[in-house]
Structures are given as structure tokens and as C-alpha cells.
Structure 1
Amino acid sequence: MSATTALYGTPRVGGDILAHCTRCKMELAHVVVSMIGGTPAKVQCKTCKSERKFRGSSSARRVVPGRAAPSRPRARGSALWEEKLAANSGKETRAYTPRTTFQNGDVLKHVKFGIGIVEEVRANGKIIVLFREGERMLVHAMS
């Protein structure tokens, strides 16, 4: 039985129809209160007497598959990271802590993000670091 099929024939004002009641939280018999075109617009639950818009039964709703989000290309960032890491391969890798002071080109190891290269030092105590997954802004030189 579909959502727009009445219990007895075609749906009409005053006729019975199956619909999900939001108050009773069940699919129950409802009375069609108003119609727009050939579709019920408003229904009243025969059990709790609450009136609401007709949305059809939950089993009759079509699920429209959404578009999958495009995956982020990591090759560009990863290739740039590998290139910069190779250029700075002679430098010592230092463990990252917010208290440590870094300069442009320093290589650091972050607990969560891995190995990164400092690309920019800002005056407000922040640094821009290039990791394999992309750039991150971190704090440094905190006392």
C-alpha cells in the first residue's frame, strides 16, 4: 500500500489514509483534512487527533543518492613537501613544542602531523609549517 493510496479507494477529503504520526511515532490511519491537486495536504491522526502536513509514509519515501564528495588531491601537497624535505635534508629534525623557537626552513617533527618544514615565521608568535597533508599554522616561541 503506497503513501497516497487510501485505505478504501483513492484518497479524498474525509477519507482514510495510512501515514506516519509524529506524536504517536507509528504508521497509523489518518483522516484526510485537505488536498492539493490529487495529493493529501493535511491529515488528522485517528488515534491522538493531532493535525499535521501529510508527508507520506516513511516506507514510501524515495532516498535520492547524493553526489560523493570529490577526494582531495594529495599528490600536489605531498610532492611539494617531498621536494622541500629533500632540499632541507641536511638540517637537523627538531621535536615540535610550542616553547621552541623556529626559523624559516627549519625541519620539525610534530606528534600528530609528522615531519614538516617551516615556510613562514609570523610576528605574532605563529609559524606556517608544510606537512605531507598540507599547511598548518602552529604557535612557537611561547614563554
Structure 2
Amino acid sequence: MSETAPSTGDPIEARCTKCRKNTSHTIIIMGEEGPEKVQCGTCDRQHKYRPPTAPRKPATRKPVDPRIAERKEWEELRPSLDSAAARDYSMDGEYRVNNLINHPLFGLGLVQRIAGARKVDVLFEDGRKTMRCK
């Protein structure tokens, strides 16, 4: 099967300057090198021939594991934390942001935010935990 050279009036795939996408066009003027001027089949605009562009590969973002971000945040904060100033954790205790607590299971932690009535978010070495409080 042999391919014939395109000629005036033949359909061709091209990049439309008005539609800004690859569409079907009709060749209006042929030059020595190939099509010079085409007409878009969608918007009927005549323009210089531009070869179709390759479809863009969608950007893929690797989801960030929150545990990795929390671990990094902990490693940055740890040198500035004084474990002697930490209070022992109690569900009946009252805590404020930036209070240090010492939990029997999770170890040293930093209160990061008040998460609602009777709850605080605490950053431990193992990650962020929501803890009950008064």
C-alpha cells in the first residue's frame, strides 16, 4: 500500500491557532515542502499549517505520605524541645498549643492545635495523634 502525497483539498490533521487543539483541516495551499495554508473544519479559520502536537502527558503527583511529613516535622522540632518541661499526659488535663506532654505509650509530644471540644492534636515521633483532654 503506497501513500500518495497530500494535495489541495485533502483533509489533514493540524493544530488550529484559534481552537488551540488538534483538529481536522482542509489543505488550501500546497508548497514544495508540504501544506502551507489550511482551513479548520471546526471554526473555519484559515491559517498557516502547524503540525499536530503530541498529547500532553498528564502531570502525576506522587501523593505525599502524611507520616513522612510528620516525621520530618518532628525531626526539625525535636532538638528545641525540653523533655524536662513536659507534663505527664492525662485525659483530664487542660492543654494549650505548644504544651509539651509525656505520654506513657507514645513518648514526648507537642500539642499542635485544639481539635475541638475536649480534643487536641499532638505531634509525637510516631506521627500526629488526636488526644482527649478536658
Q: The TM-score by the shorter chain falls in which range?
A: 0.3 to 0.5
TM value normalised by structure 1: 0.42
TM value normalised by structure 2: 0.45
